[in-house]
Structure 1
Amino acid sequence: MKRLIANRLFGWLPAGVRERTLRRLLVVWAVALAIALILWGTGARTHPLDIALVYSYAISTAIWFLSDPLRIGLRGWLGVSAPHYWKPSLRMLAYMVLSSTAGYALGTAVGDAYAGRSTWDMVHQSPLRLLGFWVSGLVISGFFVLGFYQRAKADDLRRQATEARLKLLETQLEPHMLFNTLANLRALIATDPPRAIQMLDRLNDYLRATLRGSRTDAAAGTHTLADECARLNDYLELMAVRMGPRLAFGFELPPDLQACPVPPLLLQPLVENAIRHGLEPRVDGGRIDVRARRDGQRLTLEVADTGVGMNPDAIQAPRDGGFGLAQVRERVASLTDGNGRIEIDSRPGAGTTIRLTLPLNHTEPA
């Protein structure tokens, strides 16, 4: 809902700042309410509360609009860029002074129209008082801008730390997958050299495609759910060389979810676990299905296998020491600020389904 409102109100701004702009507006309105109540209470209530509210909200909203979203809209002229759209310069200082002055004048005009009087009569009656109002407006605007800027910087630092953490987890997962594959290849060399050669060719193709995809992801800054499923398909094709008819697999990826960005290698550790702990112990193997669906404002991803399943103790303490599942848990927590969820549904002999639930506002393109 918040994202929809932000897109409706601020569709003319860059997508990445719309929700933050809406949050800042709500903060300004909360402070405007407090200011109106304080001025009304300390002014011996000589004016009706509704007039105090109109003046406070009109002035605060006008100053905010000119100094915040309009500043971002004029980013080219001001020479500022993402993520903060701010830099110390004479042009920026002049703009902030002018926007605060114009916002104060515009908001005052709205209040005067509502109250049926003219604040500008104070120019003759009490010019120092009018000057004090104007200066206080500039000071309050400056505090707002400084506070919002510092908060944006802190959010950006947290985002960079999260991205670095996710990147570290990816570097841990990639060799984990490769070592497992090489161990499987070594076993095939001793038992079935022709299939080992075929598997080695598949591994070569898989690594080439993965490297190419990683470079593309790094350049674009995204990795879509379709990309994730494509690499999972390559990996499962690779495993099918070793397991033969004992491995079957399928994907259910609705077209409207293919462009959702997810971290690379998010699902692969779950697929590896399904093969290693679910299908390989079965003489006749089994099937793995990877599914994606939308549940309201949440994205649900499932990796389901028809393997041997797990008992309750194994669910709490996975048999591979928990590396793959633990990494997935940590990446989901980092990606969604704790709003993601992982569920395991498994019974001995009845297969295992691992379900990831992510907020769509963390996964959909901005």
Structure 2
Amino acid sequence: MLLQRPFNGITKLRHYLQVLAFTLVVATLQYAFMPDKPYGPPVVYSVLIGSFTWAIIDLGRELLPSAAETGWPQGWQGIALVAAGIVLGYVAGTLLADALCVYYFHFYPAGASLSGADQRTSILITAIAGLVGTYYFYAIHKSAYLEDKMAEARMHANDARLKLLETQLEPHMLFNTLANLRVLIGSDPARAQHMLDRMIGYLRATLAASRSTRHPLSAEFARLQDYLELMAVRMGPRMAYTLELPDALQDAPVPPLLLQPLVENAIRHGLEPQVQGGHIAVRASTRPGATGPLLVIEVNDTGAGLPAALPTPGPGQSFGLAQVRERLATLHGSQGTLELIAVSAGGTSATVTFPLEKPVSTP
């Protein structure tokens, strides 16, 4: 794929400074092999020839379509540009250096010229240095392109991983709900109808949010309310809930379906085992962290509390908790945590903590 890149003056300045450093190294090496001659002339010739060569090649390639992988023209155009840069850079740099060395720095008397051996040496050094410098810039452009592609691939891999985890969570919740719906169809058709309507609304919202790996915390709370209303149809007065979302956190980006597994776990292992049921409270807040503010989301219930030993994660056994931990690790590494705490007054508190990100602006 060929592209026309936007001109970046800062990048060009950085390239030129690297070229200047390289020409000084070449002049120093040349002087080291010929210490009987003054150091000044090699510096003047090297800097001027290198500057002209760089200007022709690095600025000239901005006028030609270049490969996305390398940022350099392909085929004969790239070869011709480098050859022209080295030849014209040598001719122009030598002519200007001759004038400066004679009339400005007075290194040579007027009318003096380089010997045949010195000219051949200068041409050879220019050719080698030009090819080495060109290959260096070609290599760093290709390396930068490959690094960008690797970062893009890692991002897509993380997105795919999160999507996979989300698709695993959806059937888990769906199968539990359908099992409850099957029981209600025989015992209470009216409630079954109401529960089915709630489930349709929840799935519609879920499908709409599944197109991205992030959505506002307000959308996550809205989906959570749909789910809780769905569960309230089944449990009736045995379940009550409150949702607390400060206005300042409405637009905080979070992964979809982050909270529903925690609430489902609270209902299944906390409220359902109790005859009287219980209350679920979900609240969002922030607290300072080592590298910035942290978003803290708590899911508290007044249910039966934690068992002595949590079951091994698997279908129907702490599945949602394991998936929440894995999603947090994928997105935030060690900064994303999930803590389960037994409340002294009875019940369980599940706390999710991860870095608070800035809301994604929409055009």
TM-score normalised by structure 1 residue count: 0.62
Q: Is the 8 A contact 1:236 1:249 kept in 2?
A: no
Query: What amino acid is the match of 1:267?
Result: L
What pairs up with 1:50-69 in 2 under 5 angstroms? none
Query: Of the candidates 301, 306, 311, which is equivalent to residue 310 of structure 1?
Result: 306
Alpha-carbon distance in structure 2 between the residues aligned to 1:241 and 1:91: 73
Q: Is structure 2 residue 168 aligned with structure 1 residue 181?
A: no
From 272, 277, 289, the counterpart of 2:269: 277
1:355 aligns with 2:352: yes
**Secondary structure at 1:313's aligned position in 2?**
coil
The DSSP-based 3-state class of the residue aligned with 2:215 is coil
Matched, 1:229 2:221: yes
Preserved CA contact (<8 Å) 2:217 2:249: no
- Alpha carbons of 1:202 and 1:153: their partners in 2 closer, same or farther (altered >3 Å)? same
Matched, 1:239 2:227: no
CA positional deviation for 1:172: 1.0
Describe how 1:26-175 pairs up with structure 2 within 5 A.
89=74, 93=78, 126-175=122-171
**Matched residues in 2 for 1:170 and 1:136: separation?**
51
**CA deviation map 1:227-270 (0-9, x unaligned):** 2222112111222222334221213144355152x332122211
**1:332 pairs with 308, 328, 332, which one?**
328
| C-alpha distance in structure 1 between counterparts of 2:181 and 2:143, whole Å | 57
Secondary structure at 2:351 match in 1:
strand
**Offset of residue 285 of structure 1:** 1.0
Paired position in structure 2 for 1:263 = 255
| Cα distance change on mapping 1:188 and 1:40 into 2, 3 Å | farther
> Do the aligned partners of residues 145 and 312 (structure 1) sit closer, same or farther apart at CA in structure 2, a change above 3 Å counting?
farther
The alignment's C-alpha RMSD in Å is: 5.1
Deviation, 1:364, is 5.6
Q: Distance in 2 between matches of 1:174 and 1:92?
A: 55
Assess if the C-alpha contact under 8 Å between 1:225 and 1:258 holds in 2: yes
One-letter code aligned to 2:156: Q
Q: Which amino acid aligns with 1:355?
A: V
Query: Amino acid of the residue matched to residue 201 of structure 1?
Result: D
The code of the aligned residue for 2:278 comes to G
Query: Between Structure 1 and Structure 2, whose CA radius of gyration is higher?
Result: 2
Cα distance, 1:202–1:359 mapped onto 2, change above 3 Å = closer
Alpha-carbon separation, structure 2, partners of 1:317 and 1:265 = 18
Contact 2:336-2:355 within 8 A present in 1 as well: yes
Counterpart-to-counterpart distance in 1, 2:335 and 2:77 = 40
Q: Which runs of 5+ in 1 are unaligned?
A: 1-12, 14-21, 109-116
Structure 1 residue 354: deviation in Å?
2.3
Residue ranges of structure 2 left out of the alignment (5+ in a row): 1-5, 33-37, 94-103
Q: Matched residues in 2 for 1:299 and 1:87: separation?
A: 44
Distance 1:259 1:139 in 2: 46
- Give 1:356 shift: 3.0
Paired residue secondary structure (2:317): coil
Distance in structure 2 (CA, Å) of the matches to 1:172 and 1:301: 24
> Alignment length, in residue pairs?
302
3-state DSSP of counterpart to 2:140: helix
Residues 1:288 and 2:285 aligned together: no
Tell me the CA shift for residue 273 of structure 1.
0.9
Does structure 2 conserve the Cα–Cα contact (< 8 Å) formed by 1:270 and 1:324? Answer: yes
- Counterpart Cα distance in 2 of 1:234 and 1:280: 19
Change (3 A) 1:97 1:340: farther
- What SS class does the counterpart of residue 310 from structure 1 fall into? coil
CA distance in 1, matches of 2:321, 2:144: 38
Contact 1:253 1:293 in 2 (8 A): no
Determine the C-alpha separation between the residues in 2 that align with 1:95 and 1:192: 83
CA distance in structure 1 between the aligned counterparts of 2:129 and 2:242, rounded to whole angstroms = 71
What do residues 39-95 of structure 1 show as CA deviations (whole Å, max 9, x unaligned)? 899786x99xxx9xxx9xxx9xx99xx79xx98xx9xx95988xx796975699599
Residue 346 (1) aligns with residue 338 (2): no
What's the offset of the Cα at 1:145? 1.2
Equivalent residue letter for 2:321: L
User: Which TM-score applies when normalising by structure 2?
Assistant: 0.62
Q: Distance in 2 between matches of 1:79 and 1:40?
A: 32
Q: Which amino acid aligns with 1:248?
A: Y
Identity %: 37
Taking the aligned partners of 1:39 and 1:252, their CA distance within structure 2 comes to 65
- In structure 2, C-alpha distance between the alignment counterparts of 1:36 and 1:243, rounded to whole Å: 80
